[in-house]
Structure 1
């Protein structure tokens, strides 16, 4: 009986350690506060360094504007993607008619950016580039001159 108890305790310990290791390996999901902070950091970078340098920095897959499932994107008000930290294929394309489920997120981002406040959140479903699953996403948008900058968090 004592030997069985030892084996069960060892198995429980091994299972606990395996679960802890797997939780550490899972990518940390970005928070709303981190998304807002990243948009503000991107806006400051754009203002200090100019559009060309900012676009390069926002599109750099190893750069400071991509952190886990958080990434910066930047659009003109006609819907053209200038930067997209997770999908370089979007850059340079007009995505005004891009549909996500039943909504047109780029159109909604532009509405938010053009609103009197120039900032806001929009929720929709979007593929998570890390998990590859379609997930609920809330994106924070901020107007910066004649462009909008956004970062979204997955639920």
Structure 2
């Protein structure tokens, strides 16, 4: 019985460690946004296409970029290509916040920022608090987010 309890504890710790590894860090989100903005300065069209195609250069587990224009229209999305071309300025999170509208407004006023909101985690499918790092680039907003744990 004692060994069974130890085995269950060991397996539980391993599962938690693996789950933690599936989540991106704030630093990784900032690095990804920097990488996207640098690539977009060279060739915006192919960068946006590669992001939406879920190219491994841009999409890593739960970390992926999203690019909006300054009116809230999705220009590229690393998880949901069906959103490309749609204006999400009036979309709300589960708490009722207009998170894309806020994102665009923060881009206009701050340029670089972290934003808090809630979103469905693609790994667990649960609703979790999320932080999105964004940078304004010309007439677009480049973002990548991490789930709070």
Instruction: Give TM-score scaled by structure 2 length.
Output: 0.88
- In structure 1, what is the equivalent of residue 106 of structure 2? 112
Alignment partners' CA distance in 2, 1:136 and 1:24: 20
- In structure 1, what is the equivalent of residue 51 of structure 2? 58
* Distance apart, 1:102 and its partner CA: 1.9
Alignment partners' CA distance in 1, 2:140 and 2:55: 23
Alignment partners' CA distance in 2, 1:31 and 1:111: 24
**2:30 is the alignment partner of 1:36:** yes
Alignment partners' CA distance in 2, 1:78 and 1:91: 13
- In structure 2, what is the equivalent of residue 145 of structure 1? 138
Q: Do the aligned residues in 1 keep the contact of 2:53 with 2:81 (CA within 8 Å)?
A: no
Alignment partners' CA distance in 2, 1:54 and 1:88: 14
Alignment partners' CA distance in 2, 1:56 and 1:127: 24
Instruction: Give TM-score scaled by structure 1 length.
Output: 0.85
Moved more, 68-77 or 26-35: 26-35
Structure 2: gaps (5+ residues):
none
Alignment partners' CA distance in 1, 2:18 and 2:146: 19
* Distance apart, 1:23 and its partner CA: 3.2
* Distance apart, 1:74 and its partner CA: 0.2
* Number of residue pairs matched by the alignment: 146
SS at match of 1:61: coil
Q: Which stretches of structure 1, 4 residues or more, deviate above 6 A after TM superposition? A: none
Alignment partners' CA distance in 1, 2:28 and 2:17: 19
